[in-house]
Amino acid sequence: MASDTTATVRKGSCLCGNIKYELTGEPFNALLCHCLNCKKVTGSPFWGNGWFFKKQITIHATPEDSIKTYEDSATDGGSLLLRKFCGRCGATMFVESELGPEIIIVSVGSLDKGEKPWKTAKECYAKDSFGWGPNGEGVEVTQGPFVLDKAES
């Protein structure tokens, strides 16, 4: 993506600013997850995110150990999720998973003021939805987990 000078660049950070990042280009997937674990970790009715390739993101953490990892093994699908958060302010930032070592999932709510959010495409775990929406038009809703199609890199 570095050679594409027209690609969108978005900046984001945690609440306290110890973790900052730049994202280049669009996510190859974006979804709202209503699963119980995403509710717990965000404290919200659902977690909105974007799926990127790691080569699209540059992360700056000051101090370097600002990014803490919670190993979430009690997932519905049974796969281990590495949930990354700020050790100072607790902001939910990223998720990495054994399903795709080249993939990083980014919290859409961590985008900085003025940055245009990407559009969400899917909702998953609708069976666990509180019914707080959004069920946006054109959004594909699945009752269970999101199944990753073969990602293009």
Using only C-alpha atoms, what is the Rg of the chain?
A: 15
Per CB under 5 A, the list member of 23, 30, 31, 38 interacting with Zn ion is: 38
Q: What is the Cα–Cα distance from 81 to 79, expressed in whole angstroms? A: 6
Q: What is the Cα–Cα distance from 104 to 150, expressed in whole angstroms? A: 15
Q: What is the Cα–Cα distance from 80 to 86, expressed in whole angstroms? A: 19
Q: What is the Cα–Cα distance from 126 to 84, expressed in whole angstroms? A: 24
Min dist. Cβ of residue 35 to Zn ion (A): 3
Per CB under 5 A, the list member of 12, 14, 23, 94 interacting with Zn ion is: 14
Q: Does 89 bind Zn ion (CB under 5 A)?
A: yes
Min dist. Cβ of residue 142 to Zn ion (A): 12
Per CB under 5 A, the list member of 10, 12, 18, 81 interacting with Zn ion is: 18
- Between residues 23 and 86, which has the closer beta carbon with respect to Zn ion? 86
Q: What is the Cα–Cα distance from 98 to 109, expressed in whole angstroms? A: 23
Q: Give the interface with Zn ion as residue ranges (CB under 5 A).
A: 14, 16, 18, 33, 35, 38, 86, 88-89
